[in-house]
Amino acid sequence: MNLTFRTATPADIPALVTLIQSAYRGDSSRAGWTTEADLLDGRRTDPDAVAAVVTSADARMLIAETDGVPTGCCQLENRDGHAYFGMFAVSPTRQGGGLGRQLLAEAERVARDEWGAKEMHMTVISVREDLIAWYIRRGYTRTGETSPFPYGDERFGLPKRDDLEFELLTKTLT
């Protein structure tokens, strides 16, 4: 299989929305280990949110393609000396085989080498212990800094629990 990385264009938006949704919500997400289906219903993202990243001067959406088919993506934002990492998705049928690790490494390389970022920041739903452990194994640190989940804003999904919040994870890029 031939894995390549590229920056998304507006033509990629529909496929990216589908990919992100499939990795986190609904029955299709249960084929992978990153599902949020037990925590949230509804949408994970929408075309406007993806377009905002794709068209921003200070952000980019990286796509991992396997044999020319989008199989992973992530959002990167250039923010005052650090980069923000989000909208990370790997096709559920490709999870567990190293694609996510390779895409994360490429995102870190872009942030460090192309933007000069000294740190990568991300927020993860704090009850996602398995996902947080995956990031810790890749050098990220739990900061203990939390922010509230946007209850009532359907753009972020329909919560099934009342204890959701985001935790900031960081990594020094060397």
Average of per-residue pLDDT values in the chain: 93
pTM (two decimals): 0.93
Confidence tier at 169 by pLDDT (50, 70, 90): very high
Average of pLDDT values for 25-49?
Answer: 85
Structural domain boundaries enclosing 138: 3-172
Q: Residue 84's pLDDT is what?
A: 98
Q: Would the pLDDT of 174 be above 90?
A: no
Q: For residue 1, is pLDDT > 80? A: no
HSE-CB for 49 with a 13 A CA cutoff: 16
For the residues 107-125, what does the mean pLDDT come to? 97
Decide if pLDDT at 32 tops 90: no
Amino acid at position 37, single letter: A
Cβ atoms within 10 Å of 16's Cβ, excluding its own: 24
CATH of the domain at 20: 3.40.630.30
Total domains in the chain come to 1
Task: State the Cα–Cα distance between residues 110 and 96, nearest whole angstrom.
Answer: 23
User: Tens of pLDDT along 43-102?
Assistant: 889 999 999 999 999 999 999 999 999 999 999 999 988 999 999 999 999 999 999 999
Q: Which of 130, 137, 58 is nearest to 104 (CA)?
A: 137
| Cβ neighbours of residue 164 closer than 8 Å, sequence gap 6 or more | 39, 40, 125, 126, 127, 149, 151
